Amino acid sequence: MILLILGIALWVGAHLFKRLAPGQRASMGSAGKGIMAVAILAGLVLIVIGYRGAAFIPVWTPPAFMVHINNLLMIVAVFVYGMSATKGRLRGKLRHPQLTAVKIWAVAHLLVNGDLASIILFGAMLAWAVVEVILINRTEDWVRPEPGPAKKDILLVVITVAMFAIITAIHAWLGVWPFPG
């Protein structure tokens, strides 16, 4: 559990550093991007190792139907995340599509995982995304981009389905089948 918590702290700290200490981050110059990228990657590695190695400590037992809600929310999360790169009509509907997707992802996983490690991991990611949005909104103005062609939104739907299939395959490979039997 210690590796999980250290990984989360490194991930969150590296992500928030630019917002909480902009002067220090700016003084690091372009080398700072590399340092932060390494810190984020190291945090992610520690999160994966820590989560996979954490003891299963049950806190609550999610009802079976939550799996369906999780899967629906995950499709939405993948779609919303993809909106950050879209050039279609949906472009600019959300100010923070990636962080919104992280929030949806975290809530979806909290609904189906009642163990302590999951609550720590997904709860921390939800809290980080909320804090990140608040800090960005306080410090940066947003100019809503102009919408693009609708065909780009159709492409987003196709990519969402493909990405959801890939994510499902990765979960299956890791031994977690995300669909009820």
Series of mean pLDDT values for 10-residue runs along the chain (181 residues): 97 94 87 93 97 96 94 95 88 90 97 97 98 94 86 92 93 83 66
Q: Is 1 helix (H, G, I), strand (E, B) or coil?
A: coil
Record the pTM: 0.90
- The model's pLDDT over 107-123, given as tens digits with 9 standing for 90+, comes to 999 999 999 999 999 99
Q: What is the DSSP letter of 145?
A: P
Please state, in angstroms and rounded to a whole number, the distance separating the CA atoms of residues 33 and 157. Answer: 32
Please state, in angstroms and rounded to a whole number, the distance separating the CA atoms of residues 120 and 130. Answer: 15
Concatenating the DSSP letter of every residue in 52-105 gives HHS---BS----TTHHHHHHHHHHHHHHHHHTTT--STTTTS-S-HHHHHHHHH
Please state, in angstroms and rounded to a whole number, the distance separating the CA atoms of residues 139 and 147. Answer: 25
